[in-house]
Structure 1
């Protein structure tokens, strides 16, 4: 296992295993990089690295699909695993377990280095020179409201008293060279911190970090508890503190090895229209909303910087790999803290974060004496739907452990044959609903409330599978395997 402390060493490692597609011809910055990246997701090709972008200073590069499925079929989750310092052949369930386990270990706080030792400050732009027009920011989809300056970068903010620092990913749209507008959801951590700045009537300092160490991008995109610092959690995963440097113009620390850092302040009113944007549910956007303005004041960057991007849409992209694993780890952590003997949690990539599978061991009834199957489903829903992360999940399936939840073919078989057409479900009415999940009606989005459900698919008596593994004597299977 190896922890990659900057984006470049990570790209080199992917390249060595044949998982980088070098695009050396010149590409138009409007749509070509995004369209190539989107196709790379859909055919599971190597991750595209663009070396020449029209209208952009020579040396600037774009990097697409940083944490999607690998082109290596023998290690499909290698990009996510390697980002987190895990072995490239790690399974999805192993990654979820690692993310959950790190929640219970002491955090390792970051360490500050001098600016002379920080590659992210090799070049500094101030005033009118600090313009987004210098950088290759493409349109993600042709129906979007603008060029999206953030799809895989880390937003760093902190509360006015400095006690809570939050690193997160949120979509941010370029307005012009000096302004961006970002989606700030009140219930999310960045929204809670922004609300504190609004209370005191002062614009919120922010840093938008493009291309930090891959673990930083990954952890920024998954849920961890409020008031916990992502930097400390990343240090736990890495086994060493993250190196940070003081930002040039604001009172924030930023990752020292980042490719690009944009510094400025966020307005205290929702004064600019953001969107539409094609989201993880797989559909192009169709509306916009008033969101705060991110004013660009200072930009620092490495020589020959790399700007990473995630082009969300139909499966499979970073939303369906990394973010889904983070949500599953969050669910697993809370259920085990509630003393429920959950064996695993998994969100199938092809469900676009609309299904969550909770896997129970065969002896769960012995571990929970006196609890019926219906009561267990109810309890699981009560625990999960109180958490912030589960506002994104409308459907939970409680399943047996006699199949591989990461194998979509087996998932479809189980859900098709074990979900009762009418009963065996626990429905939770009037749950929090936001517009990102695609399965609700307009009136539910307006009200911010809708139903969520836990489906009970467990078998009272386990049925043997009509399969090679369970349908033949062991000696017959072994003879066949020996002669295959």
Structure 2
């Protein structure tokens, strides 16, 4: 199917599928819109579109949960799939396979279009007029440090030498109408790019892209390898270039169909306090950190702009879903390229992206004759331990491919019937990411801990092997047909 070039066409199709809920009564951007959004994600309701936002200029809107799990029955990944130009009813495995192929395809650089035709240039605010005061900047959680400008948008930045343009999601907090601060972690790409500018003692040009092509935010949340331009990878996913336009005040290009673009410079020093903020792991912590200041030089926006909002918290919401797809695709490609008989790797969103479920072909022994399950699991764990994306998975379970790794019910059944309580597991000491709360505080601060891989593989199949006891596997076809016809 054709991909969406802006947020409005995407919302139009979601509406036809019953996955958008327009809220016409007045809603405050201070906690209320986020509370509606949080309730929406927890109840798997349609995405809320707030048409009447208190304190905002007339026509300005808020959109919650644009990339969360869908309310469409049997198609939880519909919003993700549609964002990436794929059918809404695609399976998790087919979605990952598409991403694997795109990662292996030649990148497609963006296409620069004229500012006069770019929707994001319909309104331009410069200098003192470029203030956040007219926009519905949301307060997301009661204990947050302030209102958050960026919860579901992409920060565009490039290295001083221009070799790498990075698109990434990182939270950004409002300080006042023309200043913000946000997480610039050394382990993340925005931190790597900012470090190069800071070492020169120069402010880093940036642009924050809010709304627009829904695939932009999806790719911004995925763990793309270092020095890879997300915009070119997104072009490979689409099979066509992403249209971009030059910023007004900085030497950067942004998606032409964006709803809102904020431009300016990031200070070379950590001279502000950011946080606290309730994050994707599902915990509201009191942590703050010293971070640089984002100064605003320009804001451009479409008529009647839509400001996207992610109300992060316990899974599953936008903050886990998009990254999970990216990690799953990259790890699937890694394990398959290592010659391992892996069907798919799926980062289980329900666990706040801490459990990786790897399924292998049921006939894997034909490809690896004489190999025990422990050896196959050892090879999988070793491969993961030596790669950045593999080290992002604290716990991995390896199962046969008779289960759907994206189906939590399937996974729980396999965990209960195939994983030994304390045997058939192996661990590796690796560098870890600091935001996984399953690790001790000492491990998170040191950046070192272990990943564990569990062997949940079944013994070789024989005529006496047990079968799944389900409606589809137990009963003759004619009986199943009569039951289904009576529904």
- Deviation, 1:175, is 1.4
Rounded to whole Å, the distance in 2 between the matches of 1:474 and 1:362 is 24
1:148-173 CA distance string (max 9 Å, x none):
11111111111111111111111111
Q: SS where residue 315 of structure 2 aligns?
A: coil
| Aligned residue in 2 for 1:164 | 164
Q: SS where residue 125 of structure 2 aligns?
A: strand
| Aligned residue in 2 for 1:443 | 442
Within 5 A, what are the aligned runs for 1:315-334? 315-334=315-334
Higher mean Cα deviation, 16-25 or 388-397? Answer: 388-397
Q: SS where residue 225 of structure 1 aligns?
A: coil
Rounded to whole Å, the distance in 2 between the matches of 1:340 and 1:187 is 29
Higher mean Cα deviation, 226-235 or 258-267? Answer: 226-235
Rounded to whole Å, the distance in 1 between the matches of 2:416 and 2:18 is 37
| Aligned residue in 2 for 1:84 | 84
- Deviation, 1:244, is 0.8
Rounded to whole Å, the distance in 1 between the matches of 2:210 and 2:469 is 50
| Aligned residue in 2 for 1:279 | 279
Q: SS where residue 261 of structure 1 aligns?
A: strand
Q: Is the 8 A contact 1:332 1:344 kept in 2?
A: yes
Q: SS where residue 3 of structure 2 aligns?
A: coil
Rounded to whole Å, the distance in 2 between the matches of 1:238 and 1:71 is 25
| Aligned residue in 2 for 1:466 | 469
Rounded to whole Å, the distance in 1 between the matches of 2:408 and 2:149 is 33
- Deviation, 1:247, is 0.5
Within 5 A, what are the aligned runs for 1:42-441? 42-429=42-429, 431-441=430-440
- Deviation, 1:282, is 1.2
1:235-293 CA distance string (max 9 Å, x none):
12222211111110011111111011111111112221111111111111221111222
- Deviation, 1:473, is 5.6
C-alpha RMSD over aligned residues = 1.7
- Deviation, 1:74, is 3.8
- Deviation, 1:35, is 0.3
What is the TM-score when the length of structure 2 is the normalising length? 0.95
Rounded to whole Å, the distance in 1 between the matches of 2:420 and 2:86 is 39
Q: SS where residue 103 of structure 1 aligns?
A: helix
What is the TM-score when the length of structure 1 is the normalising length? 0.96
Higher mean Cα deviation, 153-162 or 275-284? Answer: 275-284
Q: Is the 8 A contact 2:394 2:452 kept in 1?
A: yes
Q: Is the 8 A contact 2:384 2:391 kept in 1?
A: no
| Aligned residue in 1 for 2:451 | 452
- CA 1:422–1:298: 2 relative to 1, 3 Å: same
Q: Is the 8 A contact 2:436 2:444 kept in 1?
A: no
Higher mean Cα deviation, 293-302 or 432-441? Answer: 432-441
- Deviation, 1:344, is 1.0
Q: SS where residue 184 of structure 1 aligns?
A: coil
Q: SS where residue 347 of structure 1 aligns?
A: strand
Rounded to whole Å, the distance in 2 between the matches of 1:205 and 1:471 is 62
- CA 1:252–1:48: 2 relative to 1, 3 Å: same
Rounded to whole Å, the distance in 2 between the matches of 1:129 and 1:358 is 52
Rounded to whole Å, the distance in 2 between the matches of 1:172 and 1:418 is 43
Higher mean Cα deviation, 178-187 or 461-470? Answer: 461-470
Q: Is the 8 A contact 2:332 2:342 kept in 1?
A: yes
Unaligned runs of 5+ in 2: none
- Deviation, 1:378, is 2.1
Q: Is the 8 A contact 2:396 2:453 kept in 1?
A: yes
Q: Is the 8 A contact 2:92 2:406 kept in 1?
A: yes
- Deviation, 1:481, is 5.4
Q: SS where residue 409 of structure 2 aligns?
A: helix
- CA 1:131–1:402: 2 relative to 1, 3 Å: same
- Deviation, 1:470, is 3.7
Rounded to whole Å, the distance in 1 between the matches of 2:290 and 2:270 is 5
- Deviation, 1:389, is 3.2
Q: Is the 8 A contact 1:272 1:292 kept in 2?
A: yes
- Is 1:13 aligned to 2:13, yes or no? yes
Rounded to whole Å, the distance in 2 between the matches of 1:83 and 1:229 is 18
Number of equivalent positions = 483
- Deviation, 1:474, is 5.9
Q: SS where residue 278 of structure 1 aligns?
A: coil
1:207-234 CA distance string (max 9 Å, x none):
1010120011111111222222111111
Rounded to whole Å, the distance in 2 between the matches of 1:386 and 1:279 is 27
Q: Is the 8 A contact 2:425 2:453 kept in 1?
A: yes
Unaligned runs of 5+ in 1: none
Q: SS where residue 377 of structure 2 aligns?
A: helix
Q: Is the 8 A contact 2:138 2:309 kept in 1?
A: no
